[in-house]
Amino acid sequence: LGANIGSSQAGLLNKYAQDIIVAPDSDMAGTEMVNKLTKYLSGKSIRILSIAEGKKDIGDMTDSEIISAYSATKPLDLALSL
């Protein structure tokens, strides 16, 4: 998924996924993607994986950084993000 997630992509997530983990880029586009997800996906468990400091995206992270970031994820409270 990218920052330009659309309603058709969100529809597939709504249909086939119950628990969703996203690792948005650490830039404005990543923030926009999370905002769009909160609009499109209701009633789903969404977790945001934080990108390690000094890294732009998950591709820049080591396996141990990804595991650590995954362990630290918590469900996004959609009520607070609206």
List, for residues 13-42, the tens digit of each pLDDT value: 889 988 889 898 888 888 888 888 888 887
DSSP 8-state code for residue 82: -
Does pLDDT of 6 surpass 60?
Answer: yes
Q: Can you tell me whether residue 71 is helix, strand or coil?
A: helix
List, for residues 33-82, the tens digit of each pLDDT value: 888 888 888 778 889 898 888 998 899 999 999 999 999 988 876 544 44
Give the per-residue pLDDT at 61: 94
Q: Can you tell me whether residue 58 is helix, strand or coil?
A: helix
Give the per-residue pLDDT at 1: 65
